[in-house]
Amino acid sequence: MIKTMIVEDEKLAREELKYLINKEDDFKVVFEAGDGQKALELLNNNQVDLLFLDIKIPGISGIEIARILKEKENSPYIVFTTAYDEYAVEAFQLAAVDYLLKPISDHRFKESLEKIKEKMDQNIAFNQQLENLFASINSQNKDSSLNKIAVMEKDYYLMLDFKDIYYFSTRDKKVWAHCHKKSYMTGFQLKELENMLPEQFFRIHKSYIVNLKHIKAVIPWFKGKYQVLMEDYSEHKIPVSRSKVDQINNLLNLK
CATH no. for residue 236? 2.40.50.1020
pLDDT given at position 144? 45
In a shared domain, residues 56 and 95: yes
Q: Please identify every stretch of the chain with a pLDDT value under 50, giving residue numbers as ranges.
A: 89, 91, 125-127, 129-130, 133, 137, 140-144
Number of domains comprising the chain: 2
Could you tell me if 76 and 184 lie in one domain?
no
Among residues 128, 156, 180, the one where a domain terminates is: 128
- DSSP state letter for 32: E
What global pTM score does this model have? 0.49
Instruction: Indicate whether 170 and 115 sit together in one domain.
Output: no
* pLDDT score for 147: 83
Instruction: Tell whether 12 and 124 lie within a shared domain.
Output: yes
- Together in a domain, 124 and 202: no
At residue 21, the pLDDT reads 92
Domain limits for position 100: 2-128
CATH code for the domain in which residue 105 is found: 3.40.50.2300
- 147 and 114 share one domain: no
pLDDT of residue 241: 92
- Residue 133's pLDDT is 47
Choosing from 128, 151, 180, the residue where a domain stops is 128
The pLDDT assigned to 181 comes to 92
pLDDT (0 to 100) of residue 100: 83
Whole-angstrom distance, CA of residue 242 vs CA of residue 150: 31
Shared domain for 98 and 57, answered yes or no, is yes
